[in-house]
Amino acid sequence: MTSRSIPRPFPRVRWGGVVARIRPALAAFLALSWVVARGADAAATNAPLLLHDFKPQSMMRLTETKVERARFPVIDVHNHVNDAGSLTRPHPAAADIVARMDRCNVQRVIILTGGSGPSLQRVLDTMVKPYPDRFTVFCQLDWTKVTEPDFGAQMVTLIRDAVQRGARGLKILKSFGLEYRDASGKLVAVDDPRLDPVWAECGRLGIPVAIHVGDPAAFFLPVDAANERYEELQAHPDWSFHGKDYPSLNDIHQAVERVFARHPGTSFIWLHVGNWPENLDYIGEVLRRRPNVAVEIGAREADLGRAPRRARRFFVDFQDRILFGTDFTLIEAGYRNYFRWLETEDEYFDYHNSPGQGRWKIYGLGLPDEVLEKVYHQNADRILGQFRGPAGGAK
């Protein structure tokens, strides 16, 4: 019998090639099965993490100093507790506010946004009349009159009335130079001469002007991945002043210094460290040129606290020109955070309201006692003590 090949019903299988082809699919299937077995939480571990969900817990083990009360009595020159706007809503009683102040060693609070006319009178009656040694109120201009040709003269009359009622300073909101427009639709510049009678009158009366112009430097930049306050601007898009509709931050600073120069007899409290705490060299230069200007630190703990060595030099160099302020309503935890920052050398801790202004930590300045006492109350006492207006106080 002649041998012959027996035909195969199927072609020869090259098992090595088959395994090579199915191995990735098999691996994927096994991985998926493992993930399903672990549940949805495990699947999420490989998903992209949104920035607002990123809340890392620091592994640093550092000193945490509790500062319940300020080392020296405090005058908070930038507060909004029970101001002209809040009195139209439910608000804490003045006695409750005073109790909070006592627990933190806050001697006096300056309510900056007191309004004018009847609104101002309500704040004076509610806060100053029962506690004349604990509260001081600043008035505000009526910007609805800005389109009228005699705006400056009208505001001088308003200020005189406010001082007669009991106001002891003038507060300028940041809308000045960024939003207010005259009858022609033109933006009212910070150094607009129509405001010169206002600044001059404040100097004549001996009342300080607490002036907020500009805003953080990042608010004038594109809102993109390079902006260090991207999250804050996403939450508050109306805080962005980038673009052709607004002056640059540098232009605003040059304009306000022209105002300081034209009115050397008026005391200006440049709020928020002149709104350029990121550039203390520049702010220091202005302070050296303009002896009628002091700065206030409200809501800029985050910026100053992230550069502690530079900030400490600034506080020491200008210890007679820096005022304590917070820019909140009256939050005990907020005060204690500020006190820890100014008084201790603690490292790498959250600023008040972190991470609302940026994703970083701050460091204590450990200021000397003689500097602390000036910042806490002596500088404010000196500026507020310049009052030369009509006697009488609040009605």
* 10-residue averages of pLDDT along the chain (395 residues): 42 47 51 45 68 88 96 98 95 97 98 98 98 98 96 98 98 97 94 98 98 98 97 96 95 98 98 98 98 98 98 98 97 98 98 95 98 98 93 45
The string over 53-65, giving b where at least 16 C-beta atoms fall within 10 Å of a residue's C-beta and e elsewhere, is: eeeeeeeeeeeee
Q: Which residue, 99, 142, 92, is CA-closest to 117?
A: 142
Rounded Cα distance between 305 and 327, Å, is: 16
CA distance 347 to 58: 12
> pTM (2 decimals)?
0.87
The answer, yes or no, to whether the previous bond of 355 is cis (omega within 30 of 0) is: yes
The domain spans of the chain are 74-384
Fold of 74-384: TIM Barrel (3.20.20)
> What is the reported pLDDT for 46?
79
Phi/psi at 361 (5° precision): -105, 170
Read off the tokens for 72: 């020296």
